[in-house]
Amino acid sequence: MQKAIGKRAISSFISLFLLVILVFFLSRLTGDPAALFLPVDASEEMLEAFRERHGLNDPVIVQFFSYLGDLVRGDFGDSLRKARPALDVVLEAFVWTLQLALITMALVTVAAVTLGSIAAFKVGTAFDRFTSMLSLIGASAPDFWIAIVAIVLFSVNLGWVPTSGTGSVWHWILPICVLFIRPFGLILQVVRGSMLSALGSAYVKTARAKGVKNRPIIFVHTLRNAMLPVVTVIGDQAAALLNGAVVVETIFGFPGVGKLMIDSILQRDFNVILAAIMVTALAIFIMNILIDLAYALLDPRIRA
């Protein structure tokens, strides 16, 4: 198990390094930050002073190795827009995204595992067909469309919840509900299929022959053995939410890392872009390690 985690750590580090190289050079193609941050009537001397102060006059390859040197020392640079350490700006936004992702995935996991297990046990019934329809709709519905329709219906027309912000519990309802739909549909499908396979196994038939009641069969004998593929999907969906939920955060004006990335790209805040990508990649790496540990807990054969 330790070797597997070590290999994953090495591969994740290599992937992160290549991603930093790619984003660094691509971000430099978006334009000159001096023309964006300084007034329209700024003189050429002011533009040159800005570029010199932030090292933008150096060749791109020199800027890259200078950035790597700072990165090794733990310096992510300063935000051009906020004149603060870029890492601090990203971590503040990431806390919001992390809260949103944890709340959403907790609700999704409980709902999808419960309904998927019951649907598998009652396969072919009206309840099974209804949950299958829900899962298909959820897995195929586009987030941006649902978000816009939700704002028009529940915020503009009915006035039940605010359109954006984080000031109260009501501000969180629409973002959580919109982010809930897609992972719920995907996880529900996987839970149902995995549970159907497990319910047809020999140990379940033996338990039924011994007179074991339905609830222990579902939640004791079957669910644990059916959870390995489910854990994979839950981890993938959690990583997708940690990756920023860019569209939903932008539509709802949610101050998470996804919206921060979009704003930083538009404003050519290079250091914040890179810091956001590295923090998000590190979070996804930790998520993958947790998935591996969950595998080991569910299946002792993996621990070897």
The domain containing residue 110 runs over which residues?
Answer: 86-303
Q: How far apart are CA 38 and CA 20, in angstroms?
A: 27
**C-alpha 99 chain-centroid distance:** 11
Q: What six digits make up the tokens of 69?
A: 């040197």
Based on the domain organization, do 239 and 108 belong to the same domain?
yes
Boundary (domain end) residue, out of 12, 39, 72: 72
Query: Are 142 and 63 in a shared domain?
Result: no
Instruction: Residue 106: give its domain's CATH number.
Output: 1.10.3720.10
**Per the domain annotation, does 78 fall within a domain?**
no
The pLDDT tens digits of the residues spanning 35-56 come to: 666 666 667 777 777 777 767 7
pLDDT > 90: what percent of the chain?
3
> How far is 233 from 115, CA to CA, in rounded Å?
16
What is the number of structural domains in the chain?
Answer: 2
Asked if pLDDT for residue 244 goes beyond 60, the answer is: no
Global confidence as pTM: 0.77
The structure tokens listed for 290 are 């947790």
Say how far apart CA 135 and CA 192 lie, in whole Å.
Answer: 10
53-67, 122-136, 194-208: which has the highest mean pLDDT?
A: 122-136
Total residue count of the chain as it appears in this document = 304
Residues 12 and 96 in one domain: no
Q: Is residue 79 part of a domain?
A: no
- Are 198 and 122 a contacting pair, CB within 8 Å? no
Average pLDDT value for the chain: 79
Contact predicate 34/44, CB 8 Å: no
Torsion of CA 22, 26, 28, 31, to 10 degrees: -170
Do residues 138 and 13 share a domain? no
Domain boundary among 72, 106, 134: 72
Same domain for 119 and 249, yes or no, is yes
Give 268-299 pLDDT, tens digit per residue.
788 888 888 888 888 888 877 777 777 667 66
- Tell me if 253 is assigned to some domain: yes
